[in-house]
């Protein structure tokens, strides 16, 4: 919230300054647009752009008031008590089924409750994420053939496809092949996705 107050305050001040200096309207619009893009880039760099997992972790730790960031951090670090707290706050904040579906799937899989995960996976609105978690459930059920078929359908997301194929190799105890897939996914991601992959597969990646 403080970030947004600061943003709008600076934006307002910038608008007044440009008006006082009688800067051309189109040029003023371009300057304000560039400032907005710069602000967004700086603000969300740790969760969207950076490849530095420590920066992402620090950002998540410092923004636990946001239940989504808190849930992401708690699950990535297997902090059971914090997972419960963050999940409760996320469900209190977001009510629409398509909003909470992905939280419910992640939470259910964290607790190895595959039946509950399957109930919510179909409500995930983003097709790639729906297919990704569906394939993850299939792997946990040892249905590796169908999981492989699902992975091949993840054409729009190479990192998701690589994670699924890596998990399939892990189930078959093929450590070297699994590491290649997981490393490929890690290399292709940034921000929170990269952080999550690193925390989940840290031991494998550092072998």
pLDDT, one tens digit per residue, over 36-66 is 556 555 667 788 889 999 999 999 999 999 9
Q: Is 33 in the same domain as 119?
A: no
Q: Is 104 in the same domain as 40?
A: no
Q: Is 63 in the same domain as 163?
A: yes
Pick 207 or 29 by higher pLDDT: 207
What is the model's pLDDT at position 44?
Answer: 73
Q: Is 23 in the same domain as 67?
A: no
What is the model's pLDDT at position 37?
Answer: 56
Report d(CA 180, CA 66) in Å as an integer.
34
pLDDT, one tens digit per residue, over 155-197 is 889 999 999 999 999 999 999 999 999 999 999 999 999 999 9
What is the model's pLDDT at position 11?
Answer: 47
Query: Taking a C-beta distance cutoff of 8 angstroms, is the pair 143, 130 a contact?
Result: no
Q: Is 19 in the same domain as 76?
A: no
CATH number of the domain where residue 201 is located: 1.25.40
Name the range with the highest mean pLDDT among 10-24, 91-105, 156-170: 156-170
Question: Exposure of 16 by Cβ count < 10 A (0-12 exposed, 13-18 middle, 19+ buried)?
Answer: exposed
Q: Percentage of the chain surpassing pLDDT 90?
A: 72
Q: Is 150 in the same domain as 71?
A: yes
Q: How far is CA 118 from CA 28, 132, 200, in A?
A: 51, 12, 22
| Mean pLDDT, the chain, whole residue set | 85
Band (96; pLDDT cuts 50, 70, 90): confident
Range with the lowest mean pLDDT among 4-8, 28-32, 103-107?
4-8
Q: How many domains does the chain have?
A: 2
């Amino acid at each position: 919230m403080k970030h947004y107050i600061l943003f709008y305050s600076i934006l307002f001040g910038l608008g007044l300054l440009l008006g006082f200096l009688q800067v051309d309207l189109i040029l003023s619009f371009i300057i304000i647009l560039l400032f907005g893009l710069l602000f967004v880039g700086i603000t969300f760099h740790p969760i969207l752009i950076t490849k530095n997992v420590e920066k992402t972790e620090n950002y998540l730790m410092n923004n636990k008031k946001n239940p989504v960031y808190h849930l992401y951090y708690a699950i990535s670090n297997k902090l059971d008590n914090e997972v419960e707290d963050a999940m409760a706050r996320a469900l209190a904040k977001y009510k629409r089924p398509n909003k909470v579906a992905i939280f419910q799937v992640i939470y259910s899989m964290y607790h190895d409750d595959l039946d509950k995960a399957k109930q919510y996976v179909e409500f995930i609105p983003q097709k790639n994420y729906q297919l990704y978690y569906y394939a993850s459930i299939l792997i946990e059920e040892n249905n590796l053939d169908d999981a492989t078929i699902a992975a091949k359908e993840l054409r729009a997301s190479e990192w998701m496809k690589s994670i699924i194929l890596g998990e399939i190799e892990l189930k078959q105890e093929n450590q070297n092949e699994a590491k290649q897939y997981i490393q490929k996914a890690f290399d292709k991601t940034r921000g929170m996705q990269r952080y999550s992959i690193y925390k989940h597969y840290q031991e494998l990646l550092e072998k």
